[in-house]
Structure 1
Amino acid sequence: MSLPPPPGPDGLDAAFKALADPTRRLLLDRLREQNGRTLRELCESLAMTRQSATQHLDLLVRANLVVVVRRGRERLHYLNPAPIHEIEERWISGFDRPRLRTISVVKHLAEEQAMSAGPGSVPSYVYVTYIRADAQQVWSALTSADLTARYWGHANVSDWREGSRWEHVRTDGSGVADVVGRVLSADPPTRLVITFGEEGTDAAEPRPSVVTFLVEPYQDIVRLTVTHENLPDAKALGDVSHGWPAVLANLKSLLETGEALPQRPWEMAPKEA
């Protein structure tokens, strides 16, 4: 399996090279307008042949500027702002540190991130991060009540079998579950699919959102992809866009250093426009 390299100096070289081409910048603009597009949709919007579009998209993927998510037989393309954030942090934030403090305080806050408000089964939010760990360690971090309590502030409790209930339980001893759901699919240690909120008995009630964790091992690292779909509105998208990077930054810190971040990253206020 071949994975794109994590962000770093070589990745920035690839990002600059990719951004130098006007056609590739146009592809990124089209994904900014509507994320989660197929190759066919991108070709239609640009009057471009599939071969040309594929070559340009492959370069954007290698530069970490585009993330590809498979849905059945389709490959959906998402804009990934992480390299742009890294460029901003390296060359711009020093000149405007106060305004960009939210980005720089959490280490690698958004290593890879792509989001969309598209309808249907297209993921509403996609986040990818690289972790120096093995697949079993990442799986345990996602499913262990003790470990989730350390980096999330809630214990995720379940037997993690398909169809089982799971609960996001406070760690204050109250036993209160702030989120509940069902395990839709569990294939340890590589794939876990859960509902995020139980579906009500009233047919008029909205379906719960669905979260998918995909764990892909590669040599000494793991690529963890989180998709959160069926979000009800823009506010929910904004909430998960702030929450998931913070939670996963804490998970990454715990697995790589043995300690969670010194402050709760999700309590940081989002950067004002």
Structure 2
Amino acid sequence: MTPEPTQMDLVFKALADSTRRLLLDRLRENNGQTLSELCERLGMARQSATQHLDVLQRANLVAVARRGRERLHYLNPVPIHEIEQRWIAAFDRPRLQMLAAIKNEAEEQAMSTTTIPDYVYVTYIRASAEQVWQALTDADLSARYWGHANVSDWQPGSPWEHRRTDGSGAADVVGEVLATEPPKRLVITFEDSPEEAGRRDPSVVTFLLEPHQDIVRLTVTHENLPNQDMYRGIAHGWPAVLANLKSLLETGDVLPQSPWEVPA
């Protein structure tokens, strides 16, 4: 009689396949991807990717969270950590036990919080996807509805700056372009304290443009926020900025007053 496979058996079975290891690598580089995004990056058919993701999910190496109709896939490092504890830590137990205790406490705190993006805002704009994309990436247009010019060549790996329009050229926000798929998806890091750049992991903003006939659904996801102060700031700021963007594209002009000046 063949014994039932243990959870550890499922982990090793999942890791034995090079394609599944590649899927984990892609999630490590950019966590929280949809099935379509993973298929695009790997050139893989949806059916094949689904089968591999099911194996990874049963092994608890991948967790799934829903966002509307989408299923977002997240890398779960816990099983790998358990392997390390069982077969590696024993060779240097005194030092590694101390490090593991610190890591376990951090992981328990992380597991107690949701992996769903910290802030999500959805708006519908009467415009084409190309028009919305241009408004997000054109320095002159962003200066009109945002009060700052978004300056970059918008290529993956390039820097971008959120520059003041007062002639000083000062940048109040800086970051890096992580992914660009015009006119569908733009991913950038977002550091609202340039002096802190490099000292902490930056937050990440994703713009997702989904056209439907004469309108576009624009979803802005802001993840990895460092503190509650930044959360409160972007929760007040994003709706104001996007309302101004919507007004500009639909009427040809921005709102009569700067919406971010309305008290929170």
- 1:236 equivalenced with 2:237 (yes/no): no
Q: Retained in 2: the 8 A contact 1:121–1:229? A: no
Paired with 1:244 and 1:263, the residues of 2 have a C-alpha distance of 16
Aligned residue number for residue 159 of structure 1: 153
Counterpart position of 1:190:
184
Find the counterpart in structure 1 of residue 43 from structure 2.
none
- Identity of counterpart residues, as a percentage? 66
How far is 1:71 from its partner? 1.8
Q: Is the 8 A contact 1:214 1:226 kept in 2?
A: yes
The yes-or-no answer on 1:248 pairing with 2:242 is yes
- Match for 2:121 among 105, 110, 127? 127
The whole-number CA distance in structure 1 between the counterparts of 2:240 and 2:173 is: 17
Aligned partner (choices 165, 171, 194) of residue 177 of structure 1:
171
Q: RCO greater where, 1 or 2, for CA within 8 Å and sep 6 or more?
A: 1
Q: How far did residue 69 of structure 1 move?
A: 5.1
* 2:211 is the alignment partner of 1:210: no
Once the two structures are superposed, the pairs formed by residues 99-110 of structure 1 within 5 Å of their partners are none
Q: Given the two structures, how large is their TM-score scaled by the length of structure 2? A: 0.57
Displacement after TM superposition at 1:236 (Å): 1.2
Q: Could you list the runs of 5+ residues in structure 1 that have no partner in the other structure?
A: 1-60, 75-117
With over 3 angstroms needed to count, the CA separation of the structure-2 counterparts of 1:217 and 1:70, relative to structure 1, is same
Greater helix proportion: 2
What is the one-letter code of the residue matched to 2:136? L
Q: Aligned equivalents of 1:68 and 1:207: distance in 2? A: 29
Select which of 206, 210, 214 maps to 1:220. Answer: 214
Cα offset, 1:233, TM superposition: 1.5
In the other structure, the counterpart of 1:72 is 73
Q: CA RMSD in A?
A: 2.4
C-alpha contact 1:120 1:230 (8 A) present in aligned 2: no
Q: Which amino acid aligns with 2:143?
A: A
Secondary structure at the aligned position of 2:209 is classed as: strand
Asked if the contact 1:196/1:210 (under 8 Å) is kept, the reply is yes
Q: CA 1:200 to 1:174, structure 2 compared with 1: closer, same or farther past 3 Å?
A: closer
* Unpaired segments ≥5 residues, structure 2: 1-65, 76-111
Distance 1:149 1:265 in 2: 14
| In 1, Cα distance between equivalents of 2:170 and 2:155 | 22
Structure 1 runs of 4+ with >3 Å offset? 66-70, 118-121, 198-201
Rg bigger for which structure? 2
Q: What displacement does 1:234 show?
A: 1.6
Alpha-carbon separation, structure 2, partners of 1:122 and 1:187? 23
Describe the superposition over 1:110-145 as per-residue Cα deviations: whole angstroms up to 9, x where unpaired. xxxxxxxx8475310000000000000000000000
Cα deviation, 1:173-215, whole Å, max 9, x if unaligned, reads 11001100000000000000000016744xxx32100000000
How many pairs align?
Answer: 161
